[in-house]
């Protein structure tokens, strides 16, 4: 989907400004520029620039008033659950704190989603879950990257829950899961066990066993959360480099 994928100038500016904002590039010392300056900086007309700013305003990142200029909103007003915002944050500032908080969201939602999926999943949805598991097993056998199928599994479960908010999280989740799971997979021992753990969830869902599915998913996500906490206490809080140096 990727609504802000840089086709046209406006979206490229949204992207650039969005990343700059969540990276903390603007502050009291370096306030957000006025329209005229931004136009010069990006070589764009006022229309384009204003439209970009409006999109960021719609995501809660900016606010503007005549004579007062445009300014970055306090972080608590950002729409963290907007796919773009979360992606910008995860790609540029994947702090342990953010990963942990996101893992807590997963811990809250994914077990419930698994339970619901066990109860209401359509055959299409079940097929998607089964496929993801099969590909995970295959990747594990062939020593390939299990990340894509791992993500596909979690997204399939969220969708299969039949809850639109949960499904929504799958979109939000994509980029966050990528970083989150990659981190988890860097521990080979954990990875091997992980395939079996995922299969257990899948089996329970396919069998319509909500309680088992919920418990198994809770175990898996709790494990991810524990790993983040462990890594956090073992290291600093900015893991940009560590994550990027992971394979692929």
Partner DNA sequence: AACAAGGAATGATATGATAATTCGCCTCCG
Partner DNA sequence: CGGAGGCGAATTATCATATCATTCCTTGTT
Binding-site ranges for a second copy (CB under 8 A): 1, 3, 10, 14, 47, 50-51, 54-60, 63, 75-77, 79-84, 98, 101-102, 104-105, 107-109, 111-113, 116, 163-169, 171-172
Do 106 and 224 meet the contact criterion of CB atoms below 8 Å apart? yes
Question: Based on CB atoms, which residue is closest to a second copy, 89 or 139?
Answer: 89
CA torsion 177-178-181-183 (nearest 10°) is -130
How many residues touch DNA under the rule CB under 7 A: the total is 21
Do 133 and 236 meet the contact criterion of CB atoms below 8 Å apart? no
Residues 6+ apart with CB under 8 A from 33: 41, 70
- Smallest distance from a second copy to CB 172, Å: 7
- Annotate 116-169 with DSSP letters as a single string: HHHHH--HHHHHHHHHHHHHHHHHHHTT---HHHHHHHHHHHHHHT--HHHHHH
- Smallest distance from a second copy to CB 101, Å: 5
Q: Which of residues 27-86 bind DNA (CB under 7 A)?
A: 34-36, 43-48, 50-51, 64-70
> What is the C-alpha separation between 16 and 133, in angstroms, rounded?
37
> What is the C-alpha separation between 56 and 114, in angstroms, rounded?
34
> What is the C-alpha separation between 245 and 248, in angstroms, rounded?
8
The dihedral through the CA atoms of 144, 244, 81, 103 has a sign that is positive
- Smallest distance from a second copy to CB 5, Å: 12
Do 185 and 153 meet the contact criterion of CB atoms below 8 Å apart? no
- Smallest distance from DNA to CB 20, Å: 15
DSSP annotation of 84 reads H
- Smallest distance from DNA to CB 75, Å: 21
- Smallest distance from DNA to CB 83, Å: 19
Q: With CB cut-offs between 5 and 8 Å by kind, which of DNA, a second copy, none does residue 64 bind? A: DNA
Q: With CB cut-offs between 5 and 8 Å by kind, which of a second copy, DNA, none does residue 45 bind? A: DNA
Q: With CB cut-offs between 5 and 8 Å by kind, which of a second copy, DNA, none does residue 92 bind? A: none
Question: Based on CB atoms, which residue is closest to a second copy, 59 or 126?
Answer: 59
Q: With CB cut-offs between 5 and 8 Å by kind, which of a second copy, DNA, none does residue 227 bind? A: none
> What is the C-alpha separation between 243 and 94, in angstroms, rounded?
9
Question: Based on CB atoms, which residue is closest to a second copy, 96 or 102?
Answer: 102
Question: Based on CB atoms, which residue is closest to DNA, 6 or 236?
Answer: 6
Residues that bind DNA (CB under 7 A): 8-10, 34-36, 43-48, 50-51, 64-70
């Amino acid at each position: 989907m990727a609504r802000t994928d840089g086709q046209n100038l406006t979206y490229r500016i949204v992207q650039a400004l969005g990343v700059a904002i969540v990276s903390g590039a603007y502050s009291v010392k370096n306030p957000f520029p006025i329209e005229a300056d931004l136009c010069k900086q990006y070589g764009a007309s006022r229309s384009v620039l204003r439209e970009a700013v409006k999109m960021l305003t719609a995501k809660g990142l900016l606010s503007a008033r005549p004579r007062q200029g445009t300014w970055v909103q306090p972080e608590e007003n950002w729409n963290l659950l907007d796919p773009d915002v979360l992606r910008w944050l995860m790609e540029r500032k994947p702090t342990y704190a953010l990963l942990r908080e996101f893992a807590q969201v997963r811990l809250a939602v994914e077990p419930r989603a698994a339970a619901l999926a066990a109860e209401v999943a359509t055959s299409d949805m079940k097929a998607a879950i089964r496929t993801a598991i099969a590909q995970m097993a295959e990747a594990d056998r062939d020593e390939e990257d299990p990340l894509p199928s791992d993500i596909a599994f979690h997204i399939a479960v969220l969708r299969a829950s039949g809850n639109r908010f949960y499904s929504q999280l799958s979109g939000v989740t994509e980029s966050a899961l990528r970083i989150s799971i990659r981190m988890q997979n860097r521990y080979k021992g954990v990875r091997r066990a992980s395939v079996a753990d995922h299969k257990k969830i899948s089996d329970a869902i396919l069998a319509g066993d909500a309680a088992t599915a919920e418990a198994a998913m809770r175990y898996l996500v709790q494990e991810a959360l524990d790993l983040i906490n462990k890594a956090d206490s073992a290291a600093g809080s900015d893991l940009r480099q560590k994550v990027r140096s992971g394979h692929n």
